[in-house]
Structures are given as structure tokens and as C-alpha cells.
Structure 1
Amino acid sequence: MVLERVAFQTSDDVTIRGWFFTPCSSSSTPLPCLVMCHGFSALKEMDLNTFAEYFTSKLPISCLVFDHRGFGESDTKEGQPRYEIIPSQQTSDISDAITYAQSRSDVDADKIGLWGSSYSGGHALWVGATDKRIKVVLSQVPCVDGYSNFQRLIRPDFVANMNELFQKDRLERASGKPPGMLPVIDANPLNPSALPTPDSYDFFSTWAKKCDWQNKVTLRSIEALREYYPSAHIHRIAPTPLLMTVAVNDVLSPTDLSLEAFSRALEPKTLQMLPGGHFEAYSGPNFERNAAFQAEFLKSHLAHTN
């Protein structure tokens, strides 16, 4: 495996930075490319390199892995805050990442795949339906319905206060004040946070000791989650092959919501069920099972030779 640090410009002139992985063996012909991106506030260092290394060691493909705008090594637009997650911006940036991949001489521009996990698992469904340059979609433990997800994550007796925070933040931003921020995780479940599940706390607090992840997002990011319905067009992904990986006991991206969304997808589609919860898709006993299944799917639909 060979790793190259790369950067590309988005359509609104923001610099996105990431890694480009290629197999160790040299190839005289352009390779298929899998564009990969992480979930809510997560950075590329949080196991995406492990997946990319696995895929490029098993298959004749390259992988483009990047940080979303405003996170990790990527810039944000001048005058806009860091740590803000606006789905329409992130999905647009994914399409720009596809354009960058297609522009490389070592990439087969007609064989671009998309891999997204968690929040970006939802993005993969949205972009996979609307950007027809994509030849295969892998959606891992995806957020499929932001409104329903919000209602599951936020205790009913906390919602009114959250709505007040949204209103206050909009008024303050309109008056020129900095955006309101919220922790992504909090050890105390009674304190407001974006991802108030025990496994979210364990995952992100562990990674915070290993990389430059910051425990904050803008309040607007939470409001944007509630209005986002990434599986709205899932039936329009076809005839592009779709693989959805769902955890049996997922409480962050609830299992039943993902299965309902998958039922609306058209063929060709494949469902992979993994034991455990949301974050067990990334590492531990599940990793080899998960990555091997995804690699076989990629072998059939992206890395095959004509």
C-alpha cells in the first residue's frame, strides 16, 4: 500500500485534504477508485485508513479518503465557522472529491465507487442517487432519516430546550455573534450533547487521545440533522449496485430505520447484518468480517476486469 497526501478544491473554493491509497504493486493502467468519508464530526484517522489499507491490499483499486470541510486537516470557507456540519455542503464536497479522483491520470474515471459510514453513510445514499458518475455505493451503519434520528437521540423532555437554543443561536448569528457550540459527547447523559449514547462517548473519547478530534459542533449542525432525510431518494440509486451494512443493535443510527430504508431501495441491492452496535463496524472482531464482505462486493462490482 502506498499513501499520498492530497488536496483538492471544492466548487465554492474550499481546500479539502486527505489521503490517496494505492496498492503496493505498480499498475500501468488506471485503477478504479473508491471515495471514502467518515461520519458526524469524525476524522479520517478514525479507522478509515484501516479500511482503505485493507481494500487496496486485497483489490486492484485506489482509495481517496478525506476530512470533511471544517474538520481535521481540511479548511472551511472564509467567514464560516469550523466544526459545522451542513449536509448539503458535505454532499456537494463528495461530488467534488469524485471530480478530483476522475481528474487523476492513475484513476479509471469510469469506475468510481462511494463508501460512507454513519452520517456519511447517509450521504452515500443521497449522492449515490443523484450523482450518476458513481458505479457502486457502500453505505455503512448509515443515518437514513435525520428527523427520526433526532427524536430517538434527544430525550422528549429536552426537545423544547433544544428548540430554544436553535432560535437563540439563529438570532445571535444574525446579529454578528459567534455561532453557538455543543459538545459532541458528554460523560453525563443529562448534559446536552450531539451524540448522547454511551457507545458514542466511548468511541470519541478514546480517539480524542490519539488524534486532533475536537469535542464540539455548532448548534446549527444539530438543527441541520433534523431536517436531513438522506434516504429520500434511495430508490433512485438503482441500477447502481448498493451494499448497506447494518448493525443489529445500533442505537445511534437505529437498526429499524436502516432496514426500512433498505426495503425502499431497488435491485441490485445487498444487505450485510453485523452483530453488535454502531461502532463495532469499525474495529475489533467485526472488522475482518465486515471489510472482507465489502471487499468481495467491490471485487464483483467495481474492481472486476471487463
Structure 2
Amino acid sequence: MKSRRYPDTSHVRVRAIKSTFTAEGALCGATLHVPEDTRTDQQLPAILMLGGWGSVQMAMTSSFTHSFVEAGFAVMEFDYPGWGASGGFPRQGINPWRRTRVADTVLAHLKSQPMVDAHQITLWGTSFGGGHVVDLASQHPELTGAIIQVPMLDGRAATFATPLGRLLKLSMLGLLDLIKPGALIYVPTISREGEFGTMDRDGAWDAMERAMAALPHLGYDNRVAAKSALTMPFYRPWLRLKDVKVPMLMIGATSDTVAPFVSDKVRRVGNPNVQVIEIDADHFDPYFDPLFPEVLAHQLKFLRR
């Protein structure tokens, strides 16, 4: 087991401003994080953060959020419908195309905040959210830029990386969940290595435990609707990389087995707006020390450019 430590950013003085927005018929929760001493008439450059497959606000992202606030940015996190602090039923389902529509609504919500400079907004996405950032950035050439780390760019590659027995079980449960009436069938979002769930590789369980220990008040509903897995092979945001017109920083992990980094496809697109940095890491390493400072440094350099 790797020696991972959740970064300590408790020294950062942050003001958290709660708000709500309506998306896909649900009342959803968002939080704008700003430096504690920000004046109410002050407008800051902003970052909209899109979390991963089973994400909720601040789950494994708080160290990035606080670090960006310390650098002078306003940072918005949010919960998708049916997740975390957001309403909406059924709960814990994932549809990537729906999520991109929701993120577009959140972007408009962020632009409307009085402490945000609507002309200075950068998208930030991690894991599954990295794919949504590609989708969203391709639709919004007015944005300042975009950052994606350990991005899920090709659902087909992620599907083929899943052990065959687990893939068959996920597929069968997903189909049953899709066609049967009544309550949804749920599977664990994260599981111990070798146990059944949608993510058990790259030290996923250890990563969740360490992140939750650092944020004991957060809580986490560790389950996802089984039919969510059926969307994965059809979600391929790398195909829209060619349409990204804003500067984008892409950080890919060469040992990622959860969302394999498809560097060959990225090179094939050859978009000059996309800067690619490859790191020797697995899917969860960037969230933790000792790698976190290096990843953060790349992102801050990009933001200050």
C-alpha cells in the first residue's frame, strides 16, 4: 500500500457561500468558496469544479479548492441532481450527458454571482468530471481556460480495463436495473481491491478512507445505481477535444487503470490549445501527498499564465 497523506490546507481562511440552482427539475446545492477577507463589491476570477464518477462537494477536492482560494480565486463546487446536498430522484444515478447539461446550468449560476468576474472563469474537472469539462469547454469559447486531471476521456477504454467477471456482473445488474419496475438496484461505488464495486483499483478504497478521515463531517453514500455503468462505453469525450478553443491543461497519469489515459488518441487529435503533462501516477495519487504539490504547481502555473 502506498504511503498517502491527505494534504493539510487548514491554514487557508475561506468564506463558504451556499446557494441553490435548479437543474433537470431538481433544486441543487452549490458552494462558492472565496478568501475570507474578500469585499462584497469585489469581483474575483473564478473556477468551476466538476468532480468525478461518484463525487459530492469537497470529497477529495477540498485541498485543491482551498489552494485555489489561497491563490486568489473564487471556487464553486456543486452536487449533481440526486447526489449530496441536491434534491432529485431517483438518487445516486449517473448519466454523463445529463451531467454536462447540469454543469452548463451551474456555469450560468456561477457567472451570476456578485463576487465573480463573469469574464474570468476557468473550468476544472477530475476523473469523470474531466470528460464533462471537455464537453463544456467545446461549447464555451468565451471561457478563460480549462484544467483536467486524470480525465476519463474514453469510456470504451475504461470499460475494457474492468476485469471480465466484474464487467459481466455490472452489465447484468445494469440491464436488470434498467428494465425492472420499482426501486433501483445499487452497487458499491468504491470497494476494496478484488471486491465488487465500480472502482476497486489504484487504491480506491484507501483513497476514500483517507479523504473521509480528513473530512469526518462530510459523510458519503457509497453506492451508485447499477444502470449507470451501462452509459460508460458510449461516453467518449476525447472525440470533442478537437472542438476546444480555449487553453486547456491536461494532466494524465500513466499508471491509471480506473480511467486509462488515452495519450495516443489525444496526440491523434493534435489540438494546439491543449497542453499535455504526463505524470507517473495512478488514478488517485494526484489528490494526496507526496504528489499533490507537484500537480498543484502545474495547475497554478497554468492559471497564472
Query: What TM-score range do you get, normalising by the shorter chain?
Result: 0.7 to 0.9
- Contact residue 122 and residue 144 of structure 1 kept, 8 A: yes
CA 1:167–1:53: 2 relative to 1, 3 Å: closer
- Secondary structure of the 1:233 match is helix
Q: Are 1:227 and 2:239 counterparts?
A: no
Q: Are 1:213 and 2:252 counterparts?
A: no
Aligned counterpart in structure 2 of residue 196 of structure 1, from 193, 200, 203: 200
Measured against aligned partners, the alpha-carbon deviations of 1:38-86 in whole angstroms (never above 9, x if no partner) come to: 111122222322112111212x32111122222222222xxx3111111
- Contact residue 144 and residue 258 of structure 1 kept, 8 A: no
The equivalent residue for 2:126 is 117
- Contact residue 15 and residue 35 of structure 2 kept, 8 A: no
Measured against aligned partners, the alpha-carbon deviations of 1:250-286 in whole angstroms (never above 9, x if no partner) come to: 111113x145335415112212222321111112011
- Contact residue 236 and residue 265 of structure 1 kept, 8 A: no
Measured against aligned partners, the alpha-carbon deviations of 1:225-266 in whole angstroms (never above 9, x if no partner) come to: 22211222111002x0010011231111113x1453354151
Listed as ranges, the gaps of 5+ residues in structure 2 are 1-12
Q: How many residues align?
A: 289
Aligned counterpart in structure 2 of residue 254 of structure 1, from 260, 267, 273: 260
CA 1:227–1:2: 2 relative to 1, 3 Å: same
Structure 2 residue identity aligned to 1:165: L
Deviation of 1:217 after TM superposition, in Å, equals 0.3
Aligned counterpart in structure 2 of residue 237 of structure 1, from 233, 244, 252: 244
The equivalent residue for 2:65 is 52
The equivalent residue for 2:7 is none
CA 1:161–1:278: 2 relative to 1, 3 Å: closer
The equivalent residue for 2:14 is 2
Deviation of 1:139 after TM superposition, in Å, equals 0.7
Measured against aligned partners, the alpha-carbon deviations of 1:128-150 in whole angstroms (never above 9, x if no partner) come to: 11233422110110001112211
Query: C-alpha separation between the residues in 2 aligned to 1:159 and 1:11?
Result: 31
Query: C-alpha separation between the residues in 2 aligned to 1:140 and 1:262?
Result: 16
- Secondary structure of the 1:138 match is strand
Query: C-alpha separation between the residues in 1 aligned to 2:42 and 2:174?
Result: 51
Tell me the C-alpha RMSD between the 2 structures: 2.1
TM-score by length of 1: 0.87
Structure 1 residue identity aligned to 2:147: L
- Secondary structure of the 2:25 match is coil
The equivalent residue for 1:304 is none
Q: Are 1:61 and 2:66 counterparts?
A: no
Q: Are 1:171 and 2:171 counterparts?
A: no
CA 1:262–1:85: 2 relative to 1, 3 Å: farther
Aligned counterpart in structure 1 of residue 283 of structure 2, from 278, 287, 296: 278
- Contact residue 129 and residue 237 of structure 1 kept, 8 A: yes
- Contact residue 147 and residue 248 of structure 2 kept, 8 A: yes
- Contact residue 166 and residue 219 of structure 1 kept, 8 A: yes
Structure 2 residue identity aligned to 1:297: F
Aligned counterpart in structure 2 of residue 70 of structure 1, from 82, 88, 95: 82
Query: C-alpha separation between the residues in 1 aligned to 2:103 and 2:149?
Result: 16
Query: C-alpha separation between the residues in 1 aligned to 2:97 and 2:16?
Result: 28
Query: C-alpha separation between the residues in 2 aligned to 1:197 and 1:34?
Result: 29
